[in-house]
Amino acid sequence: MLGELNINNIALIKRSDIEFEKGLNVLSGETGAGKSMVIGSLEFALGGRATRDFVREGEEKATVEAVFYDVSEQVLKCAAEMGVDCEDKTIILQRTINKFGRTSGRINGVTATASMLKNIAEKLIDIHSQHESHSLLNSANHIDVLDRFCMPEILGLKSELSELIYKYKKIREKLKAVSGDENERKRRIELLEYKIYEIEQADLSSDEEEKLNLRKKTLLSAEKLIKHSSQCLALLYYGGEGDLSAIDRLSAALKLCGSMVANDESLSDVYENIDELYSKLQYTSDRLKSYLDDINADPNEINKIEERLDLIYNIKKKYGADFNEIMENLKKAKEELDFINNSEEIRLKLNAENDKIINSIKNICDKITDIRKNAAKKLQKRITEELRDLEMKNAIFEVYITQKDSFNSKGRDNVEFMISTNAGESLKPLSTTASGGEMSRVMLGLKTVISGNENIDTFVFDEIDTGISGRTATKVAEKMAYISNKQQILCITHLPQIEAISDKSFLIEKSVESEKTVTKVKELNYNDKVSEVLRLMGSNTTDAGIKAAKEMINFSDERKKAIRG
C-alpha cells in the first residue's frame, strides 16, 4: 500500500508530507484548492510526464517521494530484475525535476528511468478518473478485466499458452530460414562457404598477431641492433686488433688462478667464481651469435610479416574483433551451412512440430474460451446487480465473446463489454454508450465484483463521483467502503457521503503566506471531519447542520462495519 507521499516545491505546494493508511483515504477541498496537484505529484513520482512549470516559482527543483509498504511478490520480483534491493518489502519511488525541465528518478536509491518507474508503478497502484477509466474505455482491455474475474482457474492455462506460443514463434523462425527462395538459398550457401574457406585458409592462432607485432618492432630496428650486438660480441668474444676479448682475458685469469689453487687451496672459491663467469660469458656470446644470425636470416621477413598482419586485419574487420570472436563466427557459419544443406529434412520435421504445437495451442485456447464464457455469465449477472444497486435500475450489462482465426498469448477471443442503460434500448458497446457518471458506476461495479482478484494493492479515484448525488452517492460511498476492505483507496471527492465513510480524511486548502499562494494538505480529526462534511453538504454552521453532519458520519461508520463484516 501507499504509506507516504512527500511533496516538495510542486506548483503551489511548498512542502507536504502525507501519511496514508489502509482502507479508504479521502481528500477534499474547494475547487481550485490544489487537489489535482496531489494526484499530479503522485503520477509524476510514478514516472508520469511533467514540464518545468511543475516546479514552484522561484525554486531550483521539485521532488516527490512515494513510499510503498508491504509490497507484493510480483513487485519484489520486478524490483529484483532491475537490480533493486527491497528491505522489509518497502519500495521508495523518488522523482526530481529542475527548473529547466530535466528529470531524474530513483527506486530505493538506485537510479531509474521513467520507464522503469512506470514498470514497477503499474504493479503498485491503479489511477482512475471520471474522464479516464482506461480499462473500460478501451475495449482491448476488457479481456484482461474478464480474466481477473476468472482467476485463479485461468492462470495456469495462460502460462501454458505463453510457453507454447514462444515455442511456436521459434519454430516459425526456423521454418522461415529453411523455406526461403531457392536463389536466395544458393546465394547464402555461397556466402557461408566463402566465409568458412577464408577463415580456415587464414589458419590463425590466438597469439599470432601479438608475436608478429613484436617481431616487426625488432626488425624495424635491425640495423641498430646488428651494430650494437656485433660490438658486444667483439668486446666479449672476438676482440679487436691487438686487444684481447673479455672471454680471452677470463680464460687467462682462469689458468693463472688454477695454478695458484694448486699451491693454496684457500683460493678455490675465487677459481670457482671465475670459472662460473667464464661459462656465463660463453653462453652469452653464443646467444648473441644466434641473435645476429636470426636477424640476418631473411631480408624479406619484414615484408612477409606485413602481409600476414594485413591478412589478420582484414579477417578481423570482416569476422570479429579478436581471435575468439572469429572462431565463434566460424562455428556459427558451419552450423548454419549444415542447417541449410539439410533444410528439406529439417523443414519436414519442423512442419510436423508446427502442426502439433498449433493443435496444442488451439486446445488450450478452447479451454480458456470455455472458462471465459462460464465466467462471463456470472460476471454480467453480478455487474447488472451492482448497477441496479447503484441506481441504474434498467441497466443490462453483457459480455460478448467471439473467436478469432488467429491467436496470441491471451488466446483466440475478442471480449467486449456491452450495456443498455435505459429500458427498451438495445445493447451497445460500453465505450461508446455510457455517460461519464454511468461509466464511473460501471467501473465501481467491476471493482466491487473483482476486487478480491486484483493484483494491485492501491486504487486512486480522482473525482469519479462527478455527476452523482443523493441515494446514488450513498451507494457509491458504500461500494468504496467495500473495495477498500481488500485494497487501499485514495479518493478525491466532493460528496459528503464519501467523506463521511472515510477511514482517514485530508483537507486540501489554499492560502496566502508572505504574498505567495500556498496549497497545504491537512489531516482531519473528528471535529475537522464534521466541518468538512457540513461544507460538502452545503449546510450552514448551525446546531442543526452540525447534528446532521455527525449523524451522517455515525450512520456511515455503522454501514461500513456492516459492509466489511
Choose the most confident range, by mean pLDDT, from 146-155, 210-219, 339-348. Answer: 146-155
Element (H, E) at 165: helix 155-178
Mean pLDDT, rounded, for 224-253: 78
Q: What pLDDT, in 10s, does the model give residues 87-106?
A: 889 999 999 999 999 999 99
**Sheet with 411-420: strands ordered across:** 396-408, 411-420, 428-429
Strands (DSSP E) found in 99-216? 103-107, 110-112, 125-129
CA end-to-end span of the chain, whole Å? 21
Distance CA 56, CA 72 (A): 34
**Given a cut of 90, is residue 501 above it in pLDDT?**
yes
**Given a cut of 80, is residue 240 above it in pLDDT?**
no
**Given a cut of 70, is residue 298 above it in pLDDT?**
no
Supply the pLDDT for residue 28. Answer: 92
Distant-in-sequence, close-in-space partners of 291: CB < 8 Å, separation ≥ 6: 229
Q: What pLDDT, in 10s, does the model give residues 340-368?
A: 888 778 888 889 999 999 999 999 999 99
**Given a cut of 90, is residue 107 above it in pLDDT?**
yes
Residue found by looking up cell 519454430 in the block:
171
Rounded to two decimals, what is the model's pTM?
0.63
**Which amino acid, one-letter code, is at 291?**
Y
**Given a cut of 80, is residue 554 above it in pLDDT?**
yes
Supply the pLDDT for residue 189. Answer: 87
pLDDT-based confidence at 453, cuts 50/70/90?
Answer: low
